[in-house]
Structure 1
Amino acid sequence: MKSVRIRTLESTDAEALLTFEWNNREWFERHIDARDAAFYSVQGVTEHITAYLSDYAAGIWHPCVIVDSGGTIVGRANLKDIDTSRRSAEVGYRIAQSACGQGLATQAVKHLVQEAKLRWNLNQLVANVYAANIGSAKVLKRCGFLIEHTSGQEGTDQKYRFGLSI
């Protein structure tokens, strides 16, 4: 496993995040919903970061980046839809294609579980994964998540919902 640091997204991450997202756009779109084309500009990513940091300040989102020893963003991990009254949130992550298979997704999910427990006092996490995204399903299972139910149509639109009580 490569040495990485997982930290909260910062307003100064715009150019590095744009590079990460642009370089991995095709890869991500094979596994998750595509972003709007307007996202792929410094302005688009800056607006994205501003919105995420606003939601972080409001306590409904915890956006993180995964940075390698050279300072390059190699992944993202988020707690979203944080609901402190229900003590729940959704987990999401994306890893650069060049960094896959190195344990970074597992490390990121474990980090989110710790943040959920220690920072946000949550006790329930969920994650949604397309059926074709076998790697993400394996990561979630490795981190203790269990399949709760299946939704969508047969084939590529089918999703699995995973849950974890913490």
Structure 2
Amino acid sequence: MADMGAERVTEAVADAVAVLRTAVDRDWSGVPAGRVEWSCLKTAEHIASDLIAYAGQLAGRAREKYVPFEIFLEDDTDAEGALQVIETAGTLFSATIRTTPREVRAFHPYPFRSANRVGFAAMGVAEVLLHAYDIAEGLGLAYEPPAHLPEYVLTRIFPEVQPGPDPWRTLLWATGRGELPDRAPRTQWRWSNNLVLPTERLTLQGVTPASAAELAAGGDGDFEWVEDGPFDGTREAAGMAVKAYEAGVHRPEFGLFVLVRREDGRAIGGMGFHGAPDEDGRAEVGYDLAESARGQGYATEALRVLSDWALARDDVSSLCATIEPDNAASQRVIARAGYIRATVEQEQSYGEMETGLRLYVLSGGAG
């Protein structure tokens, strides 16, 4: 899957500007923009400023904080001038996305303090769609973007939001701008870029619902894989993540991670959780590697980091893994990562297991 972030930004800007341009004969500075606290003109300035800021983060490879600059409209700028600035900012942002390598991440505070080009593209599209809606609402214009644009946003930076039959109204609900049947109104919200955990030789990159759907369907999920990857287990885990997302129970930090080698940016396998921790704080891990990447310690290295990260959380007390008795390689991985064979009592406490599998556990403070 070649990510379409730059194209989606360009399309979102063009579609929004076409609608808003029908009202440039009005004084936007004196009209409130929907439910936000700004005027329509100030909201247009905000759209352009965010697009430029996101371009600056990626272009400047900012790691610790925002690049310290901002743009403002000149005092005598009218509605048409504001739209020209949005178009210009969108073009610059799209060009930046196209020229930013896949593995580059830049600072963004929510929620894991970084985003890649896909995350920034989705945030940019969200800014355009949502604030164009605010402006249109203030001006009394009808505005509804093509469904694939809000879907692009939802499946990349709203992984915890259960999809609905109408992506646009789902996005409006998710951002406190609308209602959905059988869902409580949202008064607080925050989008969520994917979590990335570094190891010495790898990065564990959280898989978005969009990438999971691609992997489950036989695609690459917007990763550059080694020749014999991804292995079947990764595609199966991606399918599990998609089902959890569709059911509204997906917690992205307890989903699938793709293991990417630092030296060449190639994906070599998948690792993650079979779901969020249960009420006792227990979670199950699983992993697999492409055959060409096995026997080099990658799985152990990744599992140690993932396990340490999970057990440092307040909602995780122990981790487990089930392994077939004849899978000696996986047993060596799990042992080197600090897991131990479960006792009979521990097996009983974890509930029913598939017959013949062995249970390994790692408790907080044990590894």
Structure 1 length-normalised TM: 0.69
Residues 105 and 58 of structure 1, relative CA distance in 2, 3 Å threshold: closer
Q: In the alignment, what sits opposite 2:220?
A: 16
Q: In the alignment, what sits opposite 1:66?
A: 259
The one-letter amino acid of 2:220's match is A
The one-letter amino acid of 1:4's match is L
Tell me the C-alpha RMSD between the 2 structures: 3.6
SS of the residue corresponding to residue 275 of structure 2 reads strand
Count matched residues: 147
2:199 pairs with 1:5: no
**Is the CA contact (8 Å cut-off) linking 2:311 and 2:317 kept in structure 1?**
yes
**Is the CA contact (8 Å cut-off) linking 1:8 and 1:63 kept in structure 2?**
yes
Q: Deviations over 1:99-147 (max 9, x none)?
A: 0011111012112212312356311111000011101111111111111
**Stretches of structure 2 lacking an aligned partner (at least 5 in a row):** 1-198, 348-352
Residues 4 and 21 of structure 1, relative CA distance in 2, 3 Å threshold: closer
Deviates most, 73-82 or 134-143: 73-82
Output the CA distance in 2 between the equivalents of 1:144 and 1:74: 22
2:281 pairs with 1:76: no
CA drift of 1:19 comes to 8.4
2:298 to 89, 92, 104: 104
SS of the residue corresponding to residue 74 of structure 1 reads strand
2:322 pairs with 1:128: yes
Residues 113 and 152 of structure 1, relative CA distance in 2, 3 Å threshold: closer
Output the CA distance in 2 between the equivalents of 1:122 and 1:139: 21
Higher strand share: 1
Q: In the alignment, what sits opposite 1:51?
A: 243
CA drift of 1:65 comes to 0.6
Residues 55 and 95 of structure 1, relative CA distance in 2, 3 Å threshold: farther
Structure 2 length-normalised TM: 0.34
**Is the CA contact (8 Å cut-off) linking 1:78 and 1:92 kept in structure 2?**
yes
The one-letter amino acid of 2:317's match is N
CA drift of 1:86 comes to 0.8
The one-letter amino acid of 1:51's match is K
**Stretches of structure 1 lacking an aligned partner (at least 5 in a row):** 40-44
CA drift of 1:62 comes to 2.4
**Greater relative contact order (Cα 8 A, min sep 6): structure 1 or 2?**
1
Higher helix share: 2
Identity in percent: 20
SS of the residue corresponding to residue 105 of structure 1 reads helix
SS of the residue corresponding to residue 16 of structure 1 reads coil
Q: In the alignment, what sits opposite 1:91?
A: 285
Output the CA distance in 1 between the equivalents of 2:314 and 2:273: 10
